[in-house]
Amino acid sequence: MSDTNYLLVVLGMGLVTYIPRWVPLFFLSQRRLPLWLIEWLDLIPVAILSALIFPDLFTTSEPRHLELFQIKSLVAVPTLLFSLKTKSLGGTVVVGMILYWLADKLIG
Amino acid sequence: MDRIERRGNAADMNARSILIEGFKTSWPICMGYFPIGLAFGVLGQKAGLNPFEIGMMSIFVFAGSSQFIAVSMLSAGADVMSIAVTTFVINMRHFLMSSSLAVYLQNASWRFVSVFAYGVTDESFAVNMAKFRGKEWGKYRALAVNQSANAAWVISTVIGGYGGEFIPAGSFGIDYALSAMFIALLVFQLRGRIYVVTGIAAGVLAVILSLLIPGNSHVVIASLLAATAGFGLRKYGRKKKGIHV
């Protein structure tokens, strides 16, 4: 692979990644948003977070298949309970890591 | 002066304290990025990229999963166009995230949002959305979160590019840092029944779709469907019973 080709790949990737990040911020931050849009957008974070987490916890890759009970999902239960109880971001991260590490030692 | 400084906006004035707070807030992201960044660097090195080329991709693109896929496509001899299209599809989900963030950046200039947009990732989005709901958060703090995560990503991928697997896989459960962070940030978003319903719907849909469609478009599709369903449900609930769901 030539250097120019690699530069093109990187610039092309950068451009197509930047555009979807930039368009809504540029066009929506400059105007008053209608209430229905704000209410709809209000539900986007919880939806995206779940859509990112669930497949991460309940499937395994290559080839992707369902695996409801694996270390990741099992550790998620006490991690979730800890988070609900404490509402602490840092604490949840540390507890999750320790539990995962222990579970990996014991089961994995 | 003292009175003004206690208010939300003026809290954005002290550049140093903002930076420090940004760093402090972003530590789970930075820690989670490190093993992934190292792994990406090692993969890039195996694909024949030098640390400079690896760092360049991390700076220009700054989107983890698409970088992994791009490198494996490069090794397989894929052309520029197909890599760009794949990257676009993978990173389309940021469109939704930036839309949500725009609600909190209503008075920001186009210059600011153009810089800010660069650092919108799954992780910085999740952290900033949780923070923006609390009142003591501003656009510069949010930018500091974006950019410290960016620095962690660039640095870790370059280190990995020198062939370093300094953190052996699985040590201290660091591989779980981002999963645990997302779990906590999801909990912050559960502010009522409608959020729980929307979240479960999005999660279940995403799992099903991820098994049916290759790639990661399931994130966008599941989020759009679940948020729209939740929105409809909320409207319906208000109309029918006058209950705030």
Return the residue in B31, B52, B53, B100 with the most chain A beta carbons within 10 A, the one to mutate for interface testing. Answer: B100
Helix/strand/coil for A78: helix
pTM: 0.83
Q: Which residues of B touch A18 (CB under 8 A)?
A: 117-118
Contact between A49 and B118 using a beta-carbon 8 Å cutoff: no
Q: Could you tell me if A51 and B222 are in contact, meaning their C-beta atoms sit under 8 angstroms apart?
A: yes
* Predicted local distance difference test score (pLDDT) of residue B6: 44
Residue of B42, B41, B8, B238 whose CA lies nearest to B134:
B8
Whether the pLDDT of residue B23 is over 60: the answer is: yes
Distance from CA of A71 to the nearest CA of B (A): 10
Closest partner residue to A48 (CB to CB) among B91, B96, B211 is: B96
d(CA B234, CA A36): 11
Return all residues near B71 (Cβ < 8 A) that are at least 6 apart.
B40, B43, B44, B47, B49, B57
Residue of B50, B41, B48 whose CA lies nearest to B76:
B48
Contact between A45 and B198 using a beta-carbon 8 Å cutoff: no
* Predicted local distance difference test score (pLDDT) of residue B4: 41
Provide the strand spans (E) within A1-107. 59-60, 65-66
pLDDT digits (tens, 9 = 90+) for B164-201: 666 666 667 888 988 998 999 899 999 999 999 999 99
For B232, phi and psi rounded to 5 degrees? -60, -45
Closest partner residue to A97 (CB to CB) among B172, B206, B214 is: B172
pLDDT digits (tens, 9 = 90+) for B88-113: 988 989 999 999 999 999 889 999 99
Please state the ipTM of this predicted complex.
0.91
pLDDT digits (tens, 9 = 90+) for A69-90: 999 999 999 999 999 999 888 8
Residue of A24, A12, A98 whose CA lies nearest to B74:
A12
A85 CB near a chain B CB, below 8 Å?
no
Closest partner residue to A89 (CB to CB) among B63, B181, B231 is: B181
Residue of B119, B99, B116 whose CA lies nearest to B108:
B116
